[in-house]
Amino acid sequence: MTPNRNREPAGPKSVVRIDGHVDLLYEMLESHRNIPWEDLPDLAVTLEKIRSVDLAVAVCALYCPDQYNANGSKDFLAHLLAYSQRFLAGLYHIKSAGDLHECIELKRPGKILLVENADCLIEFDRQSLAQTGIRVAGLTHMGKNRLADGNAVPFPAGLREQGKKLVKELASEGFAFDAAHLAEPGFRDLVRIFDGPLISSHTGMRALADIPRNLARTQVAAIIERNGVIGIAADPKMLTLSGTASIEDIFHHIDWMAQSFDAEHIAIGTDFCGFEGTNAGFEDITRLNDLERMLRDHGYPEQSIRGIMGENWRNFYEALLR
């Protein structure tokens, strides 16, 4: 489905808003160590800002830097989980579809956790992992690990044997995979050996910014075929080749995908707190209001707007967390 340029009137229900990727824990650890999130009013994503735009859920990345790959990755993930519990307590920890439904219905902002760089999951205790409610894993970050190559690796290869083994194990445990940082050969291997749900939590379209970090048309098609979701990021480096961007560039990436495929698999994955620089007109989470208004001004129907702003993520996570 492509957007109908005949504008439809707004419905009576409020729009459910979900950000499919934020790096709150990364910024808190890097720049504000041991300070509770509630005491950091200048971040791009704060509880006050979340409430001001009725953001229902922030999907928070447990980002494991490549420097910890192998010997230190398991312990670093345990540290991230403990840090999140202690210092990011202001968001309700969503572990099930019921939790997600309650957060939305009660307007109680929540967090869903995902692993960014799953090298740590080779040794991490599976029972402990299940108790966290985590059901999405990105196999790599930008570099190499024991599983595969990230999309900043020159001349990348596909999944390594440990990567294939972990994919099969996590698939049996009901996981979905986040392809946001996986190099293309690894992506092709993942699609070949895994028939479950795929997402790209925060990305841009390679048709508009031709860099390895962004998704090629064939990758978009593969994710859609798995009924997955693609979150468009606010990071200027993903949106333009110049490295400077505005809210209009976010719209262009959304619109390219909507016109090339449909609006039923597009969402927002800002990557706020995880990149340097500023997106003009989309400096923090409160600017979701302006993006929604822009979609409406361009004639997107209400059903498509609701999907892009959060319902597409909601449908994905409700199915995954059942």
Distant-in-sequence, close-in-space partners of 261: CB < 8 Å, separation ≥ 6: 220, 221, 224
Q: Are 79 and 27 in contact (CB under 8 A)?
A: no
For the chain, the straight-line distance linking the first and the last C-alpha, in angstroms and rounded, comes to: 27
Whether 100 is in a domain gets the answer: yes
Domain limits for position 229: 17-320
Domain assignment present for residue 151? The answer is: yes
Using N-to-C axis directions, what is the helix angle for 184-193 and 161-172, rounded to 10°?
Answer: 50
Stretch 279-296: mean pLDDT: 98
Instruction: Calculate the alpha carbon distances from 141 to 118, 144, 221 in Å.
Output: 8, 8, 22
What is the rounded average pLDDT for all residues in the chain? 95
Query: Which string of b and e fits 192-202 if b means at least 16 CB within 10 Å?
Result: eebebbbbbbb
Six-digit token pair at 197? 């749900």
In a domain, 1, yes or no: no
Please count the other Cβ atoms lying within 10 Å of the Cβ belonging to residue 50. Answer: 23
CATH at 263: 3.20.20.140
φ/ψ of 158, rounded to 5, equals -85, -160
For the segment 120-154, what is each residue's pLDDT rounded down to a tens digit? 999 999 999 999 999 999 999 999 999 999 999 99
pLDDT over threshold 50, residue 6? no
Look at the chain and report how many structural domains it folds into: 1
Q: What pLDDT shows up at residue 178?
A: 98
Q: Is residue 60 part of a domain?
A: yes
pTM to 2 decimal places: 0.95
Q: Which amino acid is at 164?
A: K
